[in-house]
Structure 1
Amino acid sequence: MLSVKGLESGYGRARVLFGVSLEVGPGQLVCVMGRNGVGKTTLLNTVMGVLPATAGTVTFDGADVTRLKPHERVRLGMGYVPQGHQCFPQLSVLGNLLVTVEAAKQPKEAIDEALDLFPALRPLLKRSAGHLSGGQQQQLAMARALVTRPRMLILDEPTEGIQPSIILEIEAAIERLHTAGLPVLLVEQYLDIALRLADTFVILDGGHVVRTGAAEDLHQEDVRKLLAV
């Protein structure tokens, strides 16, 4: 479904990614892990076209998307939830969903589908998104990505800075999507969540892929050392 080969990217003259390669197969959940500052967000931003690739390729469902703009990748079915609970703070929860579903040219039924995964948002539909808690804003950000009816979901640390009860709700939603067969590329900081959700993992260090494996390999001591702060 998604193939990243030899990807390089960075900011100005500062290169951050060095020949990163990974694969996400149909229905697979791949977790990208690593310490802070190793290139995880840069990787996702480059996969989505927010940052240009300076070398390598990104292929989605057999099509080379390396030079496409982010909205063109979304149109092809790549749903992205970046770090930071991004939403339109001045709009209501419903307004955020309506703007997104209309821009994606999807039927309004897609909103109900997304809210089924995040029922806690239903009583908040008239509330300004800027007045939501961080966890509620993260749920809204994920719901906005889902109303585009993506064929793959890309998530950048969706549990970061979220209260424990909402972390469990977000994890349950990701698990439901994965069980339903939606491919997911997930950057996740919590080892326990990765163990429960992932099929395979990729560990970055210094912009390089230093370890890959099946989720059960995350128990190994050498893997845990790569993730230790």
Structure 2
Amino acid sequence: MLSVDRLESGYGRARVLFGVSVEVAAGQLVCVMGRNGVGKTTLLNTLMGVIPSTSGTVTFEDRDITRLKPHERVRLGMGYVPQGHETFPQLTVHANLQVTLDASGNPASAMDEALDVFPRLKPLLKRRAGFLSGGQQQQLAIARALVTRPKLLILDEPTEGIQPSIIIEIEEAIERLHASGIAILLVEQYLDLALRLADRYVILDAGRVVHAGTAADLQGEEARRLLAV
């Protein structure tokens, strides 16, 4: 579904990614891991077109999307939840979802589907997003992406800074989405969580892929050393 071949990008003259190659098959969950500052978020932003690539290609469902704008990638079926629980804080939960629904052109049932994944949001529909807890905001951020009915869901550290009870709910939601057939590319620092969720993994270090394989391979001391913060 997603094929990334020798991708390079960065900020101005500072190159961050060096020939990164990643593949996500249809219905697969691939976890990207690595210490802080190794290029994980830069990779996701480049995949979504937020940051332009300087070399390499990004292919989605056999179509070269390397030069497409972010909204064009979303229309093709790529959903992105950036790091940081991003919402429209002055809008209600319902309005946050409605804005995305209107932009997607999907029927109202797409919102119902998203709320079924995160039922905790249903009694909060009239509350402004800025007054939600961090965990509730993260659930809303993921629900907004789900309203677009993505074929591939890209998540950047969805459990970061979240209370343990909500982490469990988010993990269960990711499991259900994976079981439903949505392909998922997940950036996650916690090895145990990755082992529970992922089919395959990629470890970045200094902007390069240094390890990749099945989740069952993520047992070696070298992998743990590379993930140590």
Does TM-score exceed 0.5, indicating one fold? yes
Return the offset for 1:101. 0.3
Map of 1:114-193 to 2, 5 A cutoff? 114-193=114-193
SS of the residue 1:175 aligns to: helix
Q: CA deviation at 1:154?
A: 0.3
Runs of 4+ residues deviating >6 angstroms: none
Percent same amino acid among aligned pairs? 76
Deviation at 1:129, TM superposition (A): 0.3
TM-fit CA distance, 1:192: 1.0
The 2-side partners of 1:149 and 1:66 are apart by: 22
The alignment's TM-score, normalised by the length of structure 2, stands at: 0.99
User: Aligned partners of 1:218 and 1:35: how far apart in 2?
Assistant: 15
Q: Write the deviation string for residues 115-161 of structure 1: whole angstroms up to 9, x where unpaired.
A: 10100000100000000011100000000000000111000000000
| Distance (whole Å) between structure 1 residues aligned to residue 204 and residue 220 of structure 2 | 16
Equivalent in the alignment of 2:196 = 196
Is 2:22 the partner of 1:51?
no
Superposed CA deviations along residues 33-62 of structure 1, whole A, max 9, x for unmatched, are: 000000000000000000000000000000
Shift of 1:218: 1.2
Q: CA deviation at 1:181?
A: 1.0
- 5+ residue gaps, structure 1, are none
Describe how 1:1-229 pairs up with structure 2 within 5 A. 1-229=1-229
Superposed CA deviations along residues 154-182 of structure 1, whole A, max 9, x for unmatched, are 00000000000000000000000101111
Task: Provide the rounded CA distance (Å) in 1 between the counterparts of 2:90 and 2:84.
Answer: 16
Show structure 2 runs of 5+ residues with no match: none
Give me the CA root mean square deviation: 0.5
In the alignment, the residues of structure 2 paired with residue 23 and residue 97 of structure 1 have an alpha-carbon distance, to the nearest angstrom, of 30
Taking the aligned partners of 2:175 and 2:113, their CA distance within structure 1 comes to: 15
**What count of residue pairs does the alignment treat as equivalent?**
229
Query: Offset at 1:216?
Result: 1.4
Q: Deviations over 1:16-47 (max 9, x none)?
A: 00000010001100000000000000000000
Q: What is the DSSP-based 3-state SS (H/G/I as helix, E as strand, rest coil) of the residue aligned with 2:162?
A: coil
1:228 CA drift (Å) = 1.1
Determine the C-alpha separation between the residues in 2 that align with 1:227 and 1:191: 8
Query: In structure 2, the residue corresponding to 1:219 is in which secondary structure?
Result: coil
Q: Which moved more, 1:1-10 or 1:214-223?
A: 214-223
Per-residue Cα deviation, 1:101-121 (whole angstroms, up to 9, x for no partner): 000001111011001010000
- Letter matched to residue 198 of structure 1: A
- Tell me, in whole angstroms, the C-alpha distance in 2 between the residues paired with 1:208 and 1:191: 19
